[in-house]
Amino acid sequence: MEVVEVTTAVKADDFRELMAGFPSGISVLTTIDADGDPTGLTCTALCAVSLEPPLVLVCIHNGSRTLKAIADLRRFAVNLLHAQGRRAAEEFSGSGPDRFSAVQWAPLNEAGLPCLTEHAHAVAECVVASTTVAGDHTVVIAEVVGVERIDSRLPLVYGMREYVAWPGGVNGTAKAVA
């Protein structure tokens, strides 16, 4: 494989601006830490990797408490937020003392992975296949071993530093959600 040497450093703000123009759905990744406590974070860096087997990829910043717990347990849940799930997105990216006391949740299964019953439209149970450090984030590839649809509402989307409800318009008419 050819390696391209990049000599032009792109500024962080320019990179952020670039990616703000690439909207995506919003998830909250949840797991259980070594003390048996639930832990989780808001994540937009999620994509499908493979159909057979069903693999997803998430990127988590290296300092994340949730990343440490995921790497230890090697299991986590992907909670896909629905259009009224903004509060969960904010809680799980904020500095509140106890994210889980601010939302409704229930154990997904005997593994106890937290399912955000109030704010997710679907939840996937994942088993870690690999972790690779990439810059200041870690790429986690995981097999999806269970899928549950828990609400019929449509997805929440994040782009241009705004939360919008699906479906957004194609002419700048996307409706921001409170």
Ligand X SMILES: Cc1cc2nc3c(=O)[nH]c(=O)nc-3n(C[C@H](O)[C@H](O)[C@H](O)COP(=O)(O)O)c2cc1C
Residue 61 or 153 having the CB closest to ligand X:
61
- Member of 45, 49, 102, 177 binding ligand X (CB under 6 A): 45
Residues 29 and 88: beta-carbon distance below 8 Å: no
* Residues 130-169 contacting ligand X, CB under 6 A: 158
Which residue from 56, 60, 78, 142 is in contact with ligand X, where contact means CB under 6 A?
Answer: 60
Candidate list 32, 43, 116, 142; residue touching ligand X; CB under 6 A:
43
Site string for ligand X, 8-27 (x = CB under 6 A): ------------------x-
Given a contact cutoff of 8 angstroms between Cβ atoms, the answer to whether 89 and 156 are in contact is yes
Per CB under 6 A, which region of 2-10, 42-50, 79-87, 119-127 contacts ligand X? 42-50
Q: Which two tokens stand for residue 164?
A: 């919008």
DSSP 3-state percent helix, strand, coil across the chain (nearest 5): 15, 45, 40
Q: Which is nearer to ligand X, 4 or 142 (CB)?
A: 142
Is residue 76 involved in binding ligand X (CB under 6 A)?
no
**φ/ψ of residue 70, rounded to 5:** -65, -40
Which residue has 């679907």 as its token pair? 122
Q: How many residues are there in the chain?
A: 178
List the one residue out of 148, 157, 156 whose CA is nearest residue 122.
Answer: 148
Q: Point out which residues bind ligand X (CB under 6 A).
A: 26, 41-45, 59-61, 64-66, 89, 92-93, 158
